[in-house]
């Protein structure tokens, strides 16, 4: 007889014991005879381990939902889990109206991402298992947030590995093409339908405030996207140059500058590597620099090349710093560990010929919880550096 529960190896069971929610295909001893959804999981001795999301075609077969074998994964269960996730964000209510409501495994809601942009939500259902609960999740989110509309940005490439279609679909209501959101003392336009990720990068909010707090003189925001760092810098610096290779992103940066009545931002469409090299050759100097590159390391094999890229932009930025100048530099590559990030900065500093002081190390804000036993929930690290 076919059973609808999964049986996992000792190694798989141990992952759960050690606080990691994923069980890989190679640790599934017997696959459940069930469609994607929630399944009970047992070890080979028949011990009940709890409930997991089941993704039949994925390398990540099982994602832990609940250690209680008696749990019922119904609408009330999703409502409760989502409510706790939302409650964790309470401290952000006063400072921003755009933040992440659900950070997947970081909130015990595996493969689900939900971002809020003012009165609208953008969700990503990133596994076959979570997709099976779309109805329950949508109705719980509607009830909990009262949002006017929501969109599924299900165009992420990981969906292909789950055997899922890739598409951008409305969930309810109508989400505008552009939403003006507030982040501390600045406002910017997010583009939920077409912008990168879910429409804006929400993970750097506090780091932008940090960079803004030390900004002065001549400032540079490299890999600016729609100018989020530049806006914070421009409130204190005399002038800000924002550099990005995307004309579309810069067009929004221009609107964002206007929205904040900031007239000291110059937008430059350029390749960051070429731009930094040319500035260095021209002997330019900046008092404040931000480097927020895209994830150069998309996977493990590309890490070494990525490290060279990070080192190059950081080295050039360090050389461009005026005496006493500050550099906020970040990496959002999961594959570049915190230790490796710091090592890369040490190498760049050594090559720069400058004496560089580490003023602060930064990570993710509270709406992107990084769980220590789940390294995949953490990817963003930053450093605030000061040059002599």
Active site residues: 332
- Tell me whether residue 76 or residue 258 sits nearer to ligand SAH (CB atom): 258
Q: Is 271 in the site for ligand SAH (CB under 6 A)?
A: yes
Q: Is 244 in the site for ligand SAH (CB under 6 A)?
A: yes
Give the β-pairing of 186-190 and 98-103: unpaired
Tokens for 252, please give them: 């929004």
- Tell me whether residue 62 or residue 231 sits nearer to ligand SAH (CB atom): 231
- Tell me whether residue 62 or residue 220 sits nearer to ligand SAH (CB atom): 220
- Tell me whether residue 45 or residue 157 sits nearer to ligand SAH (CB atom): 157
Q: Report the distance separating Cα 277 and Cα 15, nearest Å.
A: 46
Q: 266 phi and psi, to 5 degrees?
A: -110, 130
Contact 73, 109 (CB under 8 A): no
Task: Name the minimum Å distance from CB 317 to ligand SAH.
Answer: 13
What contacts 34, CB < 8 A, 6 or more positions away?
4, 54
Among 245, 264, 337, 362, binds ligand SAH (CB under 6 A): 245
Residue with tokens 């028949």: 46
Q: Which part of the chain contacts ligand SAH (CB under 6 A), choosing from 52-60, 154-162, 240-248, 253-261?
A: 240-248
Interface with ligand SAH in residues 173-232 (CB under 6 A): 201, 204, 223-225, 228-229
Please provide the distance, in angstroms rounded to a whole number, between the alpha carbons at the two ends of the chain: 73
Task: Name the minimum Å distance from CB 229 to ligand SAH.
Answer: 5
Residue ranges with strand state E in 32-119 = 37-43, 48-54, 60-66, 98-103, 112-117
Q: How many CB atoms lie within 10 A of CB 90?
A: 9
Q: Report the distance separating Cα 267 and Cα 264, nearest Å.
A: 10
Task: Name the minimum Å distance from CB 209 to ligand SAH.
Answer: 12
Q: Which part of the chain contacts ligand SAH (CB under 6 A), choosing from 114-122, 267-275, 340-348, 358-366?
A: 267-275
Among 8, 49, 240, 272, binds ligand SAH (CB under 6 A): 272
Contact 151, 168 (CB under 8 A): yes
- Tell me whether residue 138 or residue 297 sits nearer to ligand SAH (CB atom): 297
Task: Name the minimum Å distance from CB 277 to ligand SAH.
Answer: 12
How many chain residues are in contact with ligand SAH, going by CB under 6 A? 16
Q: How many residues does the chain have?
A: 388
- Tell me whether residue 223 or residue 379 sits nearer to ligand SAH (CB atom): 223
Report which of 227, 243, 228, 214 is spatially closest to residue 324, judged by C-alpha positions: 214
- Tell me whether residue 53 or residue 380 sits nearer to ligand SAH (CB atom): 380
Q: Is the dihedral of CA 170, 174, 178, 180 positive or negative?
A: negative
Interface with ligand SAH in residues 277-316 (CB under 6 A): 292, 294
Task: Name the minimum Å distance from CB 360 to ligand SAH.
Answer: 17
Interface with ligand SAH in residues 5-24 (CB under 6 A): none
Residue 84, sorted as left (phi over 0), alpha (psi -120 to 50) or beta, turns out to be alpha
Q: What is the largest CA-CA distance in the chain?
A: 76
Q: Is 77 in the site for ligand SAH (CB under 6 A)?
A: no
Task: Name the minimum Å distance from CB 249 to ligand SAH.
Answer: 5
Q: How many CB atoms lie within 10 A of CB 359?
A: 14
Vertex 28: Cα angle to 137 and 75 (nearest 5): 15
Task: Name the minimum Å distance from CB 204 to ligand SAH.
Answer: 5
Given the rule CB under 6 A, which residues bind ligand SAH? 201, 204, 223-225, 228-229, 244-246, 249, 271-273, 292, 294
């Amino acid at each position: 007889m076919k059973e609808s529960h999964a049986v996992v190896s000792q190694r798989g069971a141990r992952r759960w014991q050690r606080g990691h929610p994923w069980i890989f295909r190679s640790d599934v001893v017997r696959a459940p005879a069930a469609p994607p959804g929630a399944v009970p999981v047992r070890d080979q001795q028949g011990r009940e381990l709890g409930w997991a999301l089941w993704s039949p075609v994925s390398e990540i077969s099982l994602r832990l939902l609940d250690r209680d074998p008696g749990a019922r994964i119904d609408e009330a269960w999703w409502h409760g889990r989502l409510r706790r996730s939302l409650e964790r964000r309470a401290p952000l209510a006063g400072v921003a109206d755009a933040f992440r409501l659900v950070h997947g495994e970081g909130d015990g809601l595996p493969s689900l991402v939900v971002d809020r942009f003012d009165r609208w939500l953008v969700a990503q259902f990133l596994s076959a298992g979570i997709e099976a609960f779309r109805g329950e999740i949508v109705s719980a989110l509607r009830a909990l947030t009262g949002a006017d509309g929501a969109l599924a940005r299900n165009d992420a490439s990981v969906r292909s590995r789950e055997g899922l279609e890739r598409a951008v679909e409305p969930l309810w209501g109508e989400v505008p093409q552009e939403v003006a959101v507030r982040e501390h003392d600045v406002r910017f336009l997010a583009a939920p339908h077409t912008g990168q990720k879910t429409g804006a990068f929400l993970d750097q909010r506090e780091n932008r405030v940090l960079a803004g707090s030390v900004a002065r003189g001549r400032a540079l925001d490299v890999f600016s996207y729609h100018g989020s760092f530049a806006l914070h810098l421009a409130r204190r610096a005399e002038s800000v140059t924002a550099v990005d290779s995307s004309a579309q992103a810069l067009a929004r940066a221009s609107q964002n500058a206007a929205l904040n009545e900031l007239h000291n931002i110059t937008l430059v469409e350029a390749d960051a590597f070429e731009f930094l090299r040319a500035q260095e050759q021209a002997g330019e100097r900046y008092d404040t620099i931000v480097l927020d590159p895209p994830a150069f390391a998309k996977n493990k094999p590309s890490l070494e090349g990525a490290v060279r890229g990070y080192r190059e932009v950081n080295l050039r930025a360090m050389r461009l710093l005026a005496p006493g100048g500050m550099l906020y530099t970040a990496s959002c590559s999961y594959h570049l560990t915190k230790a490796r990030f710091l090592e890369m900065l040490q190498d760049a500093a050594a090559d720069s010929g400058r004496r560089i002081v580490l003023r602060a190390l930064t990570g993710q804000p509270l709406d992107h919880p990084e769980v220590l036993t789940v390294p995949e929930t953490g990817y963003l690290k930053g450093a605030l550096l000061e040059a002599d």
